[in-house]
Amino acid sequence: MNSLVTDAQKAGERVGLTFDRITIEGGVPLRGRIEVRGAKNLVTKAMVASLLGETSSLLRGVPDISDVRVVRGLLEVHGVKVTEGTEPGDLILDPSNVVTAHMADIDAHAGSSRIPILFCGPLLHQLGEAFIPDLGGCRIGDRPIDFHLDALRQFGAVVDKLPSGIRITAPNGLHGANIELPYPSVGATEQVLLTATRAEGITELRNAAIEPEIMDLIAILQKMGAIISVEPNRVILIEGVEKLEGYTHRAIFDRNEAASWASAALATGGDVFVGGAKQEHMMTFLNIFRKVGGKFDIYEDGIRFYHPGCALKPVVIETDVHPGFMTDWQQPLVVALTQATGLSIVHETVYENRFGFTDALVGMGANIQVYKECLGGRPCRFGQRNFLHSAVISGPTPLEAAEIEVPDLRGGFSHLIAALAAKGTSTVRGIGLIDRGYEHFTDKLTALGAEFSRD
């Protein structure tokens, strides 16, 4: 495992992912205005979609984050010319010379990203084959991408496992299919969309994910010439077309980033205006934010999130696929819940193992216990399987400064919030991981009056 981690780290460093640390003087409420741009979880897929077109695409509102650099590098090794446009955040993607990339080149850019799996459909259409590198030993193989591979097989693709990754071919072309996902997976839904748009015939996808980022990807594909209809009950129908053109599109805003800054405002007792945030895609978050006691005002150009000035209230949350409470929102919000008076429960039903980040919070004085049982609501698919997927947070507990290490993107941001809320000097190591999905977050911290230094 160690050598695999090292490979991922090296790949990360090549795209600007550093292992910097930040020293924070906590206890200062965040106050001010920041802007969020295009959603990481749309922009990276929209960049892949450009591969399907015969002409150039213009994607607007692209944030400067390392996940975008990873996907840009991957597109470039496949011959896509990527250039900046006239406005900040414009990317022009020209797919007129798509070529088969060398495995080594793909691997070098991929790092620990899961996006390469989404190159399958577009590359099969463009080149008749696709190689997906093994990005980290235990990370690939049938389990985490089984829905993707099963769907590709149903389109007629042949999947060969090689020691270095997976080779996918389509000797008889790709044909529309009837696919039912075992779970409404975001990535597998995107896989089907990106493959079905140019497959021959009609595809019916059942139990699809319907996140706003997926709707935005469908809007992009429609601009390109695709025929896709979203039906009731998680059904999506795609009529394959022979060719697609490039698109011009402004990416949907990053609701995960907006919710993260909202949680930071609440946990630090602050007041943050998140420019670019829109109510319609955050309603589930706003309901919970209000139940906790958080205040918000909706404006045309963003949402102001602020602490009520009195005690916060405990809540019961169950994460879920859209329109449920997003799994990516729970980690930052848990820090604010450590400051609520009473017992809060978070039942994580999307990922089996997303509470590792709470260890560091407990080390800082939080009272959080994690359980294998499904607490607070309905049973989920993890209940019988020994996963620590429910958390009980008892507050309020003052947080004490600590030295902490970033475990993952959202867990890392929650550690950052904890350090900002804690009295005293904390050090958060490995913050390059936060750069994967939070654009210029240290500049934003400065704009919000945080006291810190980054080494």
Residue 162 phi/psi, 5-degree rounding, is -110, 165
Q: Which residues touch 338 (CB under 8 Å, ≥6 apart)? A: 267, 361, 366, 367, 368, 393, 395, 396, 397, 399, 418
CB of 146 to ligand EPU, least distance (A): 5
Active site residue 138: yes
As a whole number of angstroms, the distance between CA 290 and CA 294 comes to: 5
CB of 188 to ligand EPU, least distance (A): 5
What are the residues binding ligand EPU (CB under 6 A)?
40-41, 114, 144-148, 183, 185-188, 209, 256, 326-328, 350-351, 409-410, 437
CB of 48 to ligand EPU, least distance (A): 11
| Amino acid making up residue 6 | T
- For ligand EPU, which is the closer residue by CB, 351 or 371? 351
Q: Following DSSP, what letter does each residue of 334-401 receive, concatenated?
A: HHHHTTBSEEEEEE--S-SS--TTHHHHHHTT-EEEEESS--SSS--TTTTTT---EEEEEE----B-
- Sign of torsion, CA 187 193 199 203? positive
CB of 430 to ligand EPU, least distance (A): 15
- For ligand EPU, which is the closer residue by CB, 351 or 451? 351
- For ligand EPU, which is the closer residue by CB, 187 or 240? 187
Give the nearest residue (CB) to ligand EPU: 187
CB of 185 to ligand EPU, least distance (A): 3
CB of 354 to ligand EPU, least distance (A): 9
- For ligand EPU, which is the closer residue by CB, 148 or 415? 148
- For ligand EPU, which is the closer residue by CB, 42 or 428? 42
Order of strands across the sheet that contains 316-318: 316-318, 342-347, 390-395, 367-371
* Three-class DSSP category at 37: coil
- For ligand EPU, which is the closer residue by CB, 401 or 416? 416
Query: Which is the catalytic residue, given 138, 310, 374, 380?
Result: 138
Alpha carbon distance, N-terminus to C-terminus of the chain:
28
For residue 24, list its beta bridge partners. Answer: 426, 452
CB of 307 to ligand EPU, least distance (A): 25
| Amino acid making up residue 377 | G
Long-range pairs for 412-416 at CB < 8 Å and ≥24 separation? 412/357, 413/260, 413/264, 413/331, 413/332, 413/438, 413/441, 414/263, 414/331, 414/332, 414/334, 414/335, 414/357, 414/361, 415/357, 415/360, 415/361, 416/22, 416/24, 416/264, 416/441
- For ligand EPU, which is the closer residue by CB, 19 or 351? 351
Q: Show which residues are catalytic.
A: 138
